[in-house]
Amino acid sequence: MYVGFEDKKFISGNGWIPTKDYDCRQRDWYKEAVEKNRIIYSAPYIDKKFNSMVITVAKPIKKDGKIIGVVGMDVVVDYLKTLVQKATPVK
């Protein structure tokens, strides 16, 4: 999980520290969540760090009705497949 803010601050749940020139506001997940003003789901893509297929889920963070940032997370597609395979129908 990670959070990007309008002032370019970025916090990563895995401890990754971005380079000084990293601007979270220019990332697709950030721009799309702000533009659509709702939760978004990316198309699947290969995560370079883990070499796994992932989907990004991101949602705007609001304060007093104004977007101040975006929270996001990358979900590994294989994990989703495992959840679906283990699911049992509701009676």
In DSSP terms, which residues pair with 41 in a beta bridge?
57
Token pair for 38: 């709702």
pLDDT at position 79 over 90: no
Residue 84: CA atoms inside 13 Å, Cβ hemisphere, count? 6
Residue 40: CB atoms within 10 Å: 21
- The per-residue pLDDT for range 11-48, each reduced to its tens digit, is 999 888 999 999 999 999 999 999 999 999 999 999 98
Token pair for 82: 């495992």
Rounded distance, CA 72 to CA 41, Å? 10
Rounded distance, CA 90 to CA 18, Å? 44
Which domains can be identified in the chain, with CATH numbers? 2-86 (3.30.450.20)
